[in-house]
Amino acid sequence: MDLRGLAKLALLISVWLSSFEAREESSSLSVIFFDSPSHSYIRQQPLGITGETNSILLDEVAAAISVLLGLAPPLLPVESSSKLNEMLLPNPFERPSTVFLLEVGGMDGLFLSTRSSDFKVGNSFSSIVLQSKKAKIHVPGEEDVFVVDVDENACAEDDDSCVDKELFELAKWFGGSYTGSLKSQDGKLTIPLSTGSSLDLDVAKESDRTFAASLASLVENTRRTVVLNEVAQSSIRSAELFIGRFRGLEALEVEYGEGDIFKLGAQLVKDSLIKLFNTLQESSGGRIVCVVVSSKDAYPSTENMLEVIQLPRLARWLDEMSSDNDTSAEIKRVLLVRRSLAWITAIILLVSTLIGICFLMNMPLTRDTLLYSNVKLD
């Protein structure tokens, strides 16, 4: 083989290796969109196309969430705009009032083909994510979009009684049981799963407690927010963005590896998402889209894959927002001039109208008049 052939072969190998590395980097992130059966906002993914063959950028995921909230997306290239058109239904006047965004670390993704019969879902769109760096979602103030962070721990780390209460409520919600307490180091959490098996956790272990407490906080905060929204139904509802980030699976993976306990924990996370989505559907009347971004590899706990930034509402008249005395006096003078011009213009139009009517009523009926152009008088 000559030198030119060797150069071509080396180039092909380098291109193949770079594309393989890119696929390896991007395969750790995946995303899935799904809506309710009563309201469709997502295009149904064609049969045979799965998240393994699809690809999307994390910036495109952020742009899709902005569109679903009824906001203008950021400037995107043509390829990204085409991708959004493949995902979302083209109806700008029909957008959901609620978007539930959940980031999960340590899980391959949510596969709807294995869902239970209780999972009331409409259309879905899944894809791998080719961009691992975080993206930003810019939203206006709370009057337009109400952002709810549902993964904040309501209990302090040393408040064992509060954590016991949340674990008891979590077990009760799933029809399981929680016995013992953290203080006595004999807490046992048993939760039945949709697959027929059950997950038994010893919350005296640090990994089990981290997983169970994180999941209990996510569930309790979401349910509490739903109840508060139902109480405030009389007020005008703006768009709502629920944000949750769950890192509890990483603790189980470190302790047990990818064994049975880890798989059962991943199934419990999926079951929790199903029940939360159904609860949010009832609260929002089906006007909801759920977005799950999952990362197989451990993602830094201090980083968020999607960061929400709330922008302050811009004032229309910036010069009139100051409370300075000189500015206030100038505002009064401007308002006086505007009102004076409006009144003078109205008076002139009224007088002109009255004069015109008077002349029309007293116009002589002569030849070729405008009122009687077809009348011929001598």
277 CB neighbour count, 10 Å cutoff: 22
In the structure, what pLDDT confidence band is assigned to residue 125 with cuts at 50, 70 and 90?
confident
Rg (CA), the chain: 31
Query: Residue range 249-261: average pLDDT?
Result: 86
The answer to whether residue 245 scores a pLDDT higher than 50 is yes
Q: Which 3 state secondary structure label does DSSP give 16?
A: helix
HSE-CB of 24 using CA atoms within 13 angstroms: 6
Amino acid symbol at 194: S
36-68 pLDDT, tens digit per residue, is 888 889 887 765 455 445 788 888 999 999 889
Structure token pair of residue 150:
């549902």
Q: Is the pLDDT of residue 232 over 70?
A: no
What mean pLDDT do residues 301-311 have?
72
Q: Where are the alpha helices (DSSP H) in the chain?
A: 3-26, 58-68, 78-87, 160-174, 206-231, 248-256, 260-284, 325-361
Report the C-alpha gap between 315 and 320 in whole angstroms: 9
pLDDT average, residue stretch 226-238: 60
Between 326 and 137, the higher pLDDT residue: 137
The neighbouring-strand residues paired with 310 are 139
The answer, yes or no, to whether residue 347 has pLDDT greater than 90, is yes
SS3 128: strand
**Spatial separation of the C-alpha atoms in residues 149 and 244, rounded to whole Å:** 6
Residue identified by tokens 């993206």 is 135
Structure tokens at 329: 């006096």
The pLDDT assigned to 6 comes to 46
Checking if the pLDDT of 25 tops 50, the result is no
All residues at 6 or more sequence positions from 168 whose CB lies less than 8 Å from its CB, including other chains: 178
Q: For position 320, what pLDDT does the model report?
A: 46
The fraction of the chain above a pLDDT of 90, given in percent, is 12
pLDDT beyond 60 at 378: no
DSSP SS3 for 78: helix
Query: In this structure, what are the phi and psi dihedrals at residue 215, rounded to the nearest 5 degrees?
Result: -65, -40
DSSP string covering 188-232: EEEEE-TTS-EEEEETTSHHHHHHHHHHHHHHHHHHHHHHHHHHT
Mean pLDDT of the chain: 77
Residue with more model confidence, 91 or 373: 91
Report CA torsion sign: 250, 254, 259, 265: negative
Q: Which residues have CB under 8 Å from 305's CB, separation 6+?
A: 29, 58, 103, 134, 135, 293, 295, 299
**What's the pLDDT at 70?**
85
Q: Is the pLDDT of residue 15 over 50?
A: no
Least confident of 13-27, 75-89, 215-229: 13-27
In the numeric block, the tokens 């759920």 are attached to 290
CA–CA distance from 213 to each of 67, 106, 200 (Å)? 33, 17, 14
Mean pLDDT confidence for 225-234:
64
pLDDT band of residue 348 (cuts 50, 70, 90) is very high
Backbone angles phi, psi at 197, to 5 degrees: -90, -175
**Which segment, 119-123, 159-163, 374-378, is predicted with the most confidence on average?**
159-163
* pLDDT-wise least confident of 19-28, 135-144, 301-310: 19-28
Domain ranges of the chain: 23-310, 322-378
The yes-or-no verdict on residue 209 having pLDDT over 80 is: yes
Show Cβ contacts of residue 261 under 8 Å, excluding neighbours closer than 6 positions: 199, 252, 255
What is the pLDDT, as a whole number, of residue 192? 92
* More confident position, 214 or 296: 214
pLDDT of 113 > 60? The answer is: no
> 365 vs 70, which has greater pLDDT?
70
Taking alpha carbons only, the member of 271, 294, 290, 241 closest to residue 122 is: 290
Q: How far apart are CA 92 and CA 66, in angstroms?
A: 12
Is residue 368 very low, low, confident or very high in pLDDT (cuts 50, 70, 90)? low
8 Å CB contact between 238 and 143: yes
Q: What percent of the chain has pLDDT over 70?
A: 72
Does position 220 have pLDDT exceeding 80, yes or no?
Answer: yes
Residue 319: pLDDT over 50: no
